[in-house]
Amino acid sequence: MMQDIERILIARGAISDRVRALAQEITHDITEKGEGAELVLVAVMTGSIIFVADLMRNLPMKVRIQLMTASSYVGKTTASTRDPFVGALPDVGGKHVLLVDDILDSGKTLTRVRDELETLEPKSIDTCVLLRKKIPSAMSVECTYVGFDIEDEFVVGYGLDYDDYYRNFPDIAVIVP
């Protein structure tokens, strides 16, 4: 696996520190909404699995998790190749929702999933991404919480993949496909 890694972009310690800081921000904001500190995390699978697991362990409140699938990447590619596919929607009506995804690049997936969730009439819906690329399509999409802004490079690790590999790599790294 290491032979395909060009360089470590974000080390596991920095990721851990940022996830804790995001959890503190989210906790503060949900508490400010009153009505009890309860939250439904909607995790966009599969890329967000590690991020959402670490994030929810750092949230000192009642948390429910709902999983959903959405994807715009197919096979061995480093670019979004289609309109996002969105699977079954979770029950979020009347609840505070935090939509969690791994990376914001084209903005298509996050926008489509958020639009679909809004039809279910949650009390509130916020978005959280681990990574946001510094490109116009990503920077123009409203996102409540962002872990890291990164350059437009293809990255893997900490849940992010290339052809379903490298999700288990503990750091975020630039890959040579």
**Catalytic (active-site) positions:** 105
* Helices 12-32 and 49-57: angle between axes, nearest 10 degrees: 60
Q: Any residues with CB less than 8 A from the CB of 73 and at least 6 apart, and which?
A: 79, 80, 81
Contact of 109 with 72, CB cutoff 8 Å = yes
As a dihedral over the C-alpha atoms of residue 166, residue 169, residue 173, residue 177, rounded to 10 degrees, the angle is -20
- Dig out the tokens for 145 from the structure: 């919480």
Element (H, E) at 5: strand 5-10
d(CA 165, CA 176): 13
As a dihedral over the C-alpha atoms of residue 113, residue 118, residue 121, residue 123, rounded to 10 degrees, the angle is 90
User: Which residues sit opposite 65 in a β-bridge?
Assistant: 41
Q: Which of 150, 133, 125, 165 is nearest to 26 (CA)?
A: 125
